[in-house]
A = this chain, B = another copy of it.
């Protein structure tokens, strides 16, 4: 972290250069109403919440887990300041005992997680939080906020990196990322996934990702003539000149770039590259390559940008476009084809009892879990077993979830960003080819354990017997007749302030 440490107020969450004040209030109000009721009812047992993605987005074969570093920082600093408690008091909803309890509340629970950069699939926990239920509940929103976006971005960026077939991918999207935090995290997530670097200078300071950049169209426009702009840039950065050549006409500008390259050579310097940013990148890259080659500038690289994503990169390289590197921005940084994940943070166990919601279309697996991954003799992933945490480890299966926090304290060394990136690269290399495929990827085998299936089935039967049938049967014939009591006025629902 290259950002100077500054005094941060109690209750702030610090993530690189982004500071969120009163971070305990970065939550949905219902987390607080539930916590207040838990306190009132004496529900203080240990709860385990599991964070996972229910279903992969259409056309996606895998996910890359990211965001854990932020989660752990958030949990370690979790506390309600006096100002936060005052604000909650002013809402007029919470009783004094609850507000008082917030004053000393800290996150004192345990977290098991897959390391950032790990490839995961649907239903597999990215992390499990076990804590007194109020603690585990109150952090839900922030935990998911951190993991959802960063996992979304790392997963998307990995596709661009794979499409680029070892050519460089530069993250370029800062201007259209959703806000300042996303701007930083997009650079970090893309770097984890294998992007070479980023245009984002602050990400350079914060994460040590060396920033890159050349010129915009405005630069060319500010000069009387395009070639004047090229010459000026070469004067300023004679050993790092990449010329943007599509401001007026790409081919005309390529000829000007040749002329400037000549002038640079006369001064003992060489043009590094040209950038294409619009038009038919396949045709233009070929024509520009030919112009450069004819001029003896075979070493001058072609960098392409402008609305790129993994599909377009793949199409260009399939067609043999002579492009050496890609700038990928907006479509990657908002994950345009799949702008969110069906991610959930679900209570799976409370007070030594497995629990299960059976909402239509939203049923998920009960119980605390472990994921075991199996590899073939070639080191490639063969399949995963989604098991209960308390069942014996299967022979040959490597557990993915490891303890990272115990009683609110870190229990594992935080990996450096380059370690996370190296892990991701190894994971992507170990994916079966058909799962790694960009289009219509094959599905990866994630098998639930027999014990998990049996426990789920038993729990579902119990719910059917105790929660569903008894309630539906007496009412079937409209048995509950109107019996207006001596009630007060109908309260205005809270959503009508």
A2 to B496, CA, bound (A): 22
Say yes or no: is A264 at the interface (Cβ < 8 Å to chain B).
Answer: yes
Contact partner, A40, options B235, B264, B351, B356, Cβ 8 Å: B235
Q: What is the CB-to-nearest-CB distance from A184 to chain B, in angstroms, rounded to a whole number?
A: 8
Q: Chain B contacts of A291 at CB under 8 A? A: 475, 480
Q: Chain B contacts of A484 at CB under 8 A? A: 265, 296
A28 to B178, CA, bound (A): 15
Contact partner, A467, options B32, B225, B233, Cβ 8 Å: B225
Say yes or no: is A299 at the interface (Cβ < 8 Å to chain B).
Answer: yes
A175 to B36, CA, bound (A): 20
**Cβ contact within 8 Å between B49 and A218:** yes
**Cβ contact within 8 Å between B494 and A296:** no
**Cβ contact within 8 Å between A357 and B270:** no
Which residues of A (21-67) have their CB < 8 Å from a CB of B?
A: 21-23, 25-34, 36-38, 40-41, 43, 47, 49
Say yes or no: is A219 at the interface (Cβ < 8 Å to chain B).
Answer: yes
Q: Chain B contacts of A490 at CB under 8 A? A: 270, 272, 299-300
Which residues of A (318-355) have their CB < 8 Å from a CB of B?
A: 324-325, 327, 330-331, 334-336, 339-341, 343, 345-347, 350-351, 355
Q: What is the CB-to-nearest-CB distance from A25 to chain B, in angstroms, rounded to a whole number?
A: 4
A469 to B249, CA, bound (A): 9
Say yes or no: is A461 at the interface (Cβ < 8 Å to chain B).
Answer: no
**Cβ contact within 8 Å between B174 and A43:** no
Most buried by B among A218, A277, A295: A218
Which residues of A (208-231) have their CB < 8 Å from a CB of B?
A: 210-223, 225-226
**Cβ contact within 8 Å between A213 and B28:** yes
Question: What residue in chain B is nearest A144 (Cβ atoms)?
Answer: B175
20 CB-based A-B contacts, threshold 8 Å: A15-B180, A18-B21, A26-B183, A29-B204, A37-B215, A37-B219, A40-B235, A168-B496, A176-B343, A178-B179, A181-B182, A196-B496, A222-B355, A242-B493, A247-B359, A265-B487, A268-B486, A270-B489, A272-B492, A294-B480
**Cβ contact within 8 Å between A145 and B180:** yes
Contacts A256-B471, A272-B492: A18 and B325 contacting too (C-beta < 8 A)? no
User: How big is the A interface, by class?
Assistant: 35 or more
**Cβ contact within 8 Å between A270 and B488:** yes
Binds B, one of A133-141, A399-407, A409-417, A432-440: A133-141
Contact partner, A175, options B17, B145, B225, B269, Cβ 8 Å: B145
A-B pairs with lowest CB-CB distance, top 3 = A296-B482, A29-B213, A179-B181
Chain A 292-311 interface 0/1 with B at a Cβ cutoff of 8 Å (1 = within): 00111001110100000000
Q: What is the CB-to-nearest-CB distance from A11 to chain B, in angstroms, rounded to a whole number?
A: 10
Specify the main secondary structure of chain A where it touches its partner. Answer: mixed
Say yes or no: is A155 at the interface (Cβ < 8 Å to chain B).
Answer: no
**Cβ contact within 8 Å between B268 and A487:** yes
A482 to B343, CA, bound (A): 57
Chain A 240-268 interface 0/1 with B at a Cβ cutoff of 8 Å (1 = within): 11100011111111011011001011101
Q: Chain B contacts of A15 at CB under 8 A? A: 180
Q: Chain B contacts of A41 at CB under 8 A? A: 232, 235-236
Say yes or no: is A163 at the interface (Cβ < 8 Å to chain B).
Answer: no
Q: What is the CB-to-nearest-CB distance from A182 to chain B, in angstroms, rounded to a whole number?
A: 4
**Cβ contact within 8 Å between A222 and B255:** no
**Cβ contact within 8 Å between B29 and A361:** no
**Cβ contact within 8 Å between B362 and A25:** no
Q: What is the CB-to-nearest-CB distance from A348 to chain B, in angstroms, rounded to a whole number?
A: 9
Q: Chain B contacts of A218 at CB under 8 A? A: 34, 47, 49, 137, 140, 346-347
**Cβ contact within 8 Å between B170 and A475:** no
Say yes or no: is A390 at the interface (Cβ < 8 Å to chain B).
Answer: no
Contacts A222-B43, A232-B41: A174 and B26 contacting too (C-beta < 8 A)? yes
Contacts A174-B141, A256-B471: A277 and B495 contacting too (C-beta < 8 A)? no
